[in-house]
Structure 1
Amino acid sequence: MRRSHHTNTLVIISNHVKSIYDDRWEADTLHYTGMGTNGDQSLSFAQNKTLAESQTNGVRVHLFEVFIDKEYTYVGEVELCGTPYQEPQRDENGNSRLAYVFPLKVLTGTRAVSLSDQQALDSQREKKASKLSNESLKERAEKSRKQPSTFQQSSTQYERSIWVAEYAKRLANGICQLCLNPAPFENAKGDPYLETHHIVWLAKGGEDTIANTVALCPNCHKKMHIVDDKKDVETLLLRAKQWVDAA
């Protein structure tokens, strides 16, 4: 966060590439992590105080996002839309600490993300997710928002959690969770090829959670989108719960 007394503005940057902070969009609200890379964060520290008091101190807040290293995308002016709250996050040394999170909304317009930026971000997250331990991956998956954020391209898109998707594949362990057959082939990395699927579709109000996400072979995945049989849905919900409980 950078403040300018000359213009009475505060610039905040949500870096989705390198930052240790766990910024996330939930619907149209950005939950932005405050300053402080080690130990518990404080609302009286530096620009945390400025942002926390931005509804009364007259400071205008401008948001940039980073999807590709060193490329800054201007989102717009934002405002605090709720009370800052604390949640456990990892610091730069990997230790658990309490961080302050600021709920922010864009004042005008709709958050827009280019397809290339979203693809670059997904690629970065997939690489990071593949290197995490099962324990770390489960922790991130459980913390992921239940309702995915949306953004505008030519139509509304859903920003799915990479952590949830990767964890679902880990739980499946190379076996389709509907037909219970091994993945039909391996990808270029030698991993069993399965596709993640939301049992209750996001477009129908389904949650982006490990309890609503399974890994399917391409054939069963296509079947779920074309047929969407209620018995298959019930079977997958039951199996997803069993696998999550057993993990």
Structure 2
Amino acid sequence: MGFNPGISIGDQIKNQDLMRIFGCSNSSGMRRAKKTGTLVLIADETKGLYSDKWSDNGVLHYTGMGKTGDQVLTGNQNITLYNSNTNGVEVHLFEVMKRTIYTYRGIVKLVETPYQTTQADENGNMRKVWIFPVKPIDDSVAAERLEKEISTLSNVELIKRSRMSKPDKTPKKTEATVYYRDPYLKEMVKRIAEGKCQSCGAVAPFNDKNNEPYLEEHHVKRLADGGADTIENVVAICPNCHRRVHVLNSDTDNIILESVAKQNVERFNWLLAYEKKLSE
């Protein structure tokens, strides 16, 4: 690593700290800092202008800079990111899921060729934008820190962030279809399950690194088949049942899990109501 910012993946800082650490400007989603040889990317879910998507394999399809009209590569930081694997500029990623809070996701690299697609600009007009597929070089650590962070959220904050993370997360085709999966939804169904498999009823086989019962998220109707990434279509099941339902794909399993998923809505609403009552 060329530049050490002195912060760890998952750390949350303010904008003024980000500016001080990297020596960059105070605004824009792409901030070039020549003094530190870095390009800071800000993936801000709270503004809703750009549609940045995480794929199943941990790749962020990051929208380039330019708020109105077709985005171009020349004369801005899009070209810096485009050439970042060869120009010596180190790219650091932050996510904003709550206004003014910047969560550090580490150094990222371009892992696919940038491509163009269409999105609305800030005036609502459709235009061409550049998409940069980047992936944290330490993505396993980033995922672990995010999961740990999510596990500490209240139920009210959990559903709030889930709603914030979902605008326009529709499947996107590049060489393969990219399906967005809501990490907050996974935590919701795990809490509903209370450490027990929603298929066989057995206690989770072990605890994860955060000392939480290990259960896996399962979409009853697959995303590839048009299933929704919503609580009505997701259950938390043990690894053995997860493998079994995918291998056998039996109608009986699907009918049972479909019923469980529908009940999860009522169960989570009960958890929300209970939490709100305690806070009164």
Same fold (TM over 0.5): yes
The correspondence for 2:152, drawn from 122, 125, 131, is: 131
Work out whether residues 196 and 204 of structure 2, in 8 Å CA contact, stay in contact via their aligned partners in 1.
Answer: yes
8 A Cα contact 1:113 1:151, kept in partner:
no
CA shift in 2, pair 1:82/1:188, >3 Å: closer
Match of 1:53 in 2: 68
**Structure having the larger proportion of residues in strand:** 1
Structure 2 partner of 1:105: 129
Select 2:93's aligned residue among 66, 79, 85: 66
1:197 aligned partner, one-letter code: H
Q: Tell me what 1:174 maps to.
A: 195
Report if aligned partners of 2:219, 2:229 keep a CA contact under 8 Å in 1: yes
1:14-93 alignment, distance < 5 Å: 14-16=41-43, 21=46, 24-26=51-53, 51-55=66-70, 62-63=77-78, 66=93, 69=105, 71=107, 73=109, 81-84=119-122
Closer, same or farther: CA 14–164 of 1 in aligned 2, 3 Å = farther
**Offset at residue 227 of structure 1 (A):** 0.7
The runs of 5 or more residues in structure 1 that have no matched partner are: 5-11, 33-49, 87-101
Choose from 227, 237, 247 the match for 1:206: 227
Residue-by-residue CA offset, 1:91-128 (whole Å, 9 max, x unaligned): xxxxxxxxxxx997327xxx433474543442332122
1:243 corresponding residue in structure 2: 264
User: 1:78, CA displacement in angstroms?
Assistant: 6.4
Q: Distance in 1 between matches of 2:123 and 2:148?
A: 30
Deviations 1:157-178 (A, max 9, x none): 6452211111121111111111
Deviation (angstroms), 1:226: 0.4
> CA 1:83–1:156 in structure 2 vs 1: closer, same or farther (change >3 Å)?
closer
Quickly say closer, same or farther: Cα 1:122–1:182, change in 2 above 3 A: same
Following superposition, the deviation at residue 129 of structure 1 comes to: 0.8
Deviations 1:162-202 (A, max 9, x none): 11111121111111111122223323443212111111122
Match of 1:161 in 2: 182
Cα 1:181–1:3 change in 2 (3 A) is closer
Shift of 1:139: 2.0
Distance 1:104 1:186, change over 3 A: farther
Structure 2 equivalent of residue 216 of structure 1: 237
In 2: Cα distance, 1:140 partner to 1:161 partner: 10
Pair 1:54–1:227, CA change in 2 (3 A):
same
CA separation in 2, counterparts of 1:190 and 1:3?
37
Structure 1 distance, partners of 2:163, 2:106, is 30
| Matched-pair identity in % | 28
Instruction: Go from structure 1 to structure 2 and tell me whether the alpha carbon gap of 1:241 and 1:147 turns closer, same or farther (over 3 Å shift).
Output: farther
Change (3 A) 1:141 1:169: same
CA distance in 1, matches of 2:220, 2:29: 43
Aligned mates of 1:186, 1:169 — CA distance in 2: 12
Query: Hey, what does 2:255 align to over in structure 1?
Result: 234
**1:160 to 1:184, Cα distance in 2 relative to 1, 3 A:** same
What does 1:139-150 correspond to in 2, within 5 Å? Answer: 139-145=160-166, 147=170
- In the aligned structure 2, how far is the partner of 1:205 from the partner of 1:223? 21
In 2, Cα distance between the equivalents of 1:85 and 1:239?
43
Counterparts of 1:179 and 1:70, CA distance in 2: 39
Moved over 6 A (4+): 27-32, 77-80
Question: Is this contact kept in 1: 2:54–2:180, CA < 8 A?
Answer: no
Distance 2:154 2:262 in 1: 21
**What is the letter of the counterpart of residue 162 of structure 1?**
P
The answer to whether the Cα contact below 8 Å between 2:215 and 2:238 also exists between their aligned partners in 1 is yes
